[in-house]
A = this chain, B = another copy of it.
Amino acid sequence: MFKKGLLIVLSGPSGAGKGTIAKALLKNENNIKLSISTTTRKPRVGETDGKNYFFTTVDKFKNLIEEDKLLEWAKVYDNYYGTPKDFVLKNIEEGFDVILEIDIQGALKVKDKFPEGVFVFILPPSMEELKNRIKKRGTETEEEILKRFKCAYEEINFVSRYNYVVINDDVNNAVEKIKAIIVAEKCRVDRNKGLYLKIKEGQ
C-alpha cells in the first residue's frame, strides 16, 4: 500500500476550532506531526527554534521565497510567516502524516503548490455557535467580532475548493473523522499507481 505520509491541511473560518482539532489529532499518535512555520518575528519567552517556529531573518526569508522553498507565505504587520516545503516533504517521505493548520487564504495557496495534499474544511455546527466562539475569546471589541464573523460567513463559500468537510460539533467526533480520512486517502487508487504491477510481478 501507499507507504508515504500525507499532508493534511486543516482549514476553515476563524472560530471553527481547527486548532483544537489539530492538537487532539496529535494525542497518542506517533505517526502524525504538526507542520512548523518559519517566521521573521522574534522568539517569545519559552519558544524554541525548530519546535514552535523556525526563526529566521528577513533576508533569509526572502531567499526562501525566491527559491520557491515555501508552500505558502504571508506578511502580517511587519513579520513574515511561511510553511517550509522541505520540512513537509522530508516527513512525508519518512512516512509521517503532517498536519498543517492554516487559514483559508493560506490553504488555497498550498493547494496551488501541493495539490496532492488532503484539504479538510472545518465547519462550526452553526453560525450562532461560531459567533459565540469568536465572542468567547474575549480579546476583541464588538466591532472586531462583527468584522471577524462577517469574514467567516463569506469564507465558508470556499469549502468547494476542499476535498472534505468536517463539522466540529464534537472534537472527538471530528478527530475520528479526520483519522478515517487519512486511512481512506492512503487506499485511493490514484495514490497507489504501480501497486498492482508490483503484486503482479511478485515484488
Contacts and interface: CB of A to CB of B under 8 A. Distances in A.
B189 A166 contact: no
Contacts of A195: 123, 165
Contact of A202 (B121, B127, B185, B202): B127
Interface of A: 1, 120-121, 123-128, 153, 156-157, 159-160, 162-167, 176-177, 179-181, 183-185, 187-189, 192, 195-196, 199-200, 202
Q: Report the 3 A-B pairs with minimum CB-CB distance, sorted nearest first.
A: A184-B184, A180-B183, A180-B180
Nearest to A121: B189
B188 A156 contact: no
B153 A200 contact: yes
Main secondary structure of the interface of A (DSSP, over half): helix
Given A180-B180, A196-B123, A196-B156, A187 B165 contact: yes
Contact of A183 (B127, B162, B177): B177
Contacts of A124: 199
**Residue of A124, A176, A185, A189 with highest tally of chain B CB at under 10 A:** A189
Given A128-B202, A156-B199, A192 B165 contact: yes
Contact of A196 (B159, B185, B192, B196): B159
Contacts of A156: 196, 199-200
A202 B126 contact: yes
B1 A199 contact: no
Contacts of A165: 1, 187-189, 192, 195-196
22 contacts: A1-B165, A120-B187, A123-B199, A126-B199, A127-B199, A127-B200, A156-B196, A162-B189, A163-B188, A163-B189, A164-B184, A165-B188, A165-B192, A165-B195, A167-B199, A176-B183, A177-B184, A177-B187, A180-B181, A181-B183, A181-B184, A184-B185
